[in-house]
Amino acid sequence: MTTKTLNPLDASWLMVESRDTPMHVGGLLRFSLPADAAPDYLRRLMADFRSSRKFTAPWNQRLRVTSLKGLMPAWEVESDIDLEHHVRHSALPKPGGERELGQLIARLHSQPLDLTRPPWECNLIEGLANNEFALYVKMHHSLVDGIGGIKLLERAMTGDEKSSRKLPAFWSAGAPAKGAGRRSRKPAPTPAQVIAGVADMVREQVGSLPDIARAFGSMIGALRNKEETLQVPFDTPTSIINGRIHGARRFATQRFELARLKKLADAGGATVNDVVLALCGGALRRFLVELGELPDKPLTAGIPVSVRPKDDEGMGNAITFIISTLGTDIDDPRERLEAITASTRRAKTHVQNLPKKAMTQYTMLLMAPYMLSLLSGVGGRTRPMFNITISNVPGPDKPLYYRGARLEAAYPVSLVTHGQALNITCQSYAGNLAFGFTGCRDTLPHMQRLATYTGKALEELETLLLGASQKPAPVRKSRAKKAAAPAPLAKATQPARKRSTKAASKVEPAASAESAVAKADAAKPGKVTAKPKAAAAADAAKTDAAKPKTVKRKATRPKPTTAKAEKPKAATRKAAAKPTPKPKAAKAPRKKAAKTTASPVAVKAADTAS
């Protein structure tokens, strides 16, 4: 039987597997049903899945059971695969929304894979809103990494809707694995071949030692130099996301247009990855501030970087790690982005100085303390190597189709470990960048808020870098509305309205019906205008002069109306008979009004400025 030995990095994911820390990764694929889909489209699709008996790598690989401890595990080809176990059918109560779908994915992702079988599962999910369905696929991380998973996705779909209707099942796409369907065994290597292979490996390891030593030496130098922007392992704070975890998971999603992120990257002199880190840093800062758990020192992120050649079709892990600050100690979003950009540039320069042959050894030495902490059980009890893992996986830039259904979005579902209760992984597809937030259910209550706060962090950056006219933040919108509610004239006339009301209440104790109507009209927005004191006095005189005319018009009406009109007339004459107290009575209210109106004007100015 054909076998393939796992490299040390792939094997390490098997070593740290446990009930609380299952080491599988997944993907949530959301499709819209074809326009001509029959009512039994999904039932027939499920039946077709379970009848597809052709398997390609890595779908047909399972771990070989070794009889001796300490030997490196290997993959072997399995032809007898139980699709009733691997392919499952789920449904949400219609219409299932984002929240219900996220809860189902969290529950499915919490279950470990059966490592005695090929380590993968596929769930067909129906009942989604907007005439959609979903596929959730998970695989063990020792079998596939992010880039390998994207290649599986591209291989199984097509950009043409018509030709996609004849596509086979996901595990049948591509060329069959070598040795599939037949029992064969490679000829055993001769002693000379074994010795030659070991000698080549030793020479390669020894030759890369000076480069690896220089790389770690520069890290030690960064600890001594406070001006150095290179982030080093374990130079991190401890936070609530760095404790022990349990098996249950939470899952949340977010999605942005790539054009928005690229515009911000150009405006800030950064990359799209830098902008992604800035959004995550801003969201984490707000989330931890709400919980009262924000450390004084900035959180750091471990960022997987692919070192896979473009022509490499392998599915195993071909990555290294860089470490960057998240700027969670910085309140200003622009300054946070600048700090992150400087940190990632320095980290990339550090890794790029390594030759390709030394990359695997460097990664193993870099990640060895992290893996040892998980194997020894001290993970989550000591200072973390970095606080959180944030990945950005490039995906197809054009829409894909499968069986006539258009792929609308692809969300990555990653893993968490002791010491890292949260993982954020992004994947680009067809002009959008989808975020998948995976976390420990017990450690992170209300984790869905992180997805919301990522959107707010994006709006804050757009406001600062592109101007408020581009995309103002929600907080600033509400303040602007409060300041703009009164009309410009109404602001100036509110004090005058208060003065005239108080003066009328003291000078004319028995106000007429006409004056009450006039006051009501004056109180309506937009009808009151600011006038000087002299103009106000002239208007009062005109009002008094106009009242007899009003009484004459009302005198022609029926008696009940005329009787009511007589009282205001008498009241007006009574007030006119005492002209001398008017100035004295008006002075006191003016002083009081000046005191009361000074405060509102100052408050409005402050609101507008904020």
Catalytic residue numbers, as ranges: 141
Closest to 33 measured CA to CA, from 333, 292, 402: 402
**In which element (H, E) is residue 27 found?**
strand 24-32
CA pair distance 310, 301, nearest whole angstrom: 26
Q: Specify the residue for token string 């994947």.
A: 427
**What phi, psi does 377 have (nearest 5°)?**
85, 5
The two three-digit tokens of residue 182, written as one number: 């037949």
Query: Residue 347: which region, alpha, beta or left (left: phi > 0; alpha: psi -120 to 50)?
Result: alpha
CA pair distance 424, 415, nearest whole angstrom: 9
**What phi, psi does 135 have (nearest 5°)?**
-125, 130
Neighbours of 30 (CB within 10 A): 23
CA pair distance 390, 432, nearest whole angstrom: 17
**In which element (H, E) is residue 30 found?**
strand 24-32
For residues 503 and 609, the answer to whether their CB atoms sit within 8 Å is no
Q: Which amino acid is at 434?
A: A
Q: HSE-up of 589 (CA within 13 Å, CB side)?
A: 18
CA pair distance 372, 392, nearest whole angstrom: 26
Q: Which amino acid is at 233?
A: P
* CA 80 vs CA 75, 118, 120, 142, 181: distances in Å: 15, 10, 14, 21, 9
Map residue 184 onto helix, strand or coil. coil
CA pair distance 148, 364, nearest whole angstrom: 20
Closest to 258 measured CA to CA, from 433, 89, 49: 433
Q: What crossing angle do the helices spanning 272-291 and 258-268 adopt, rounded to 10°?
A: 100
Signed CA dihedral, 552, 553, 558, 563: sign only: negative
* DSSP per-residue string spanning 426-474: EEEETTEEEEEEEEETTT-TTTHHHHHHHHHHHHHHHHHHH-TTT---H
CA pair distance 175, 177, nearest whole angstrom: 6
- The CA radius of gyration of the chain, in Å to the nearest whole number, is 36
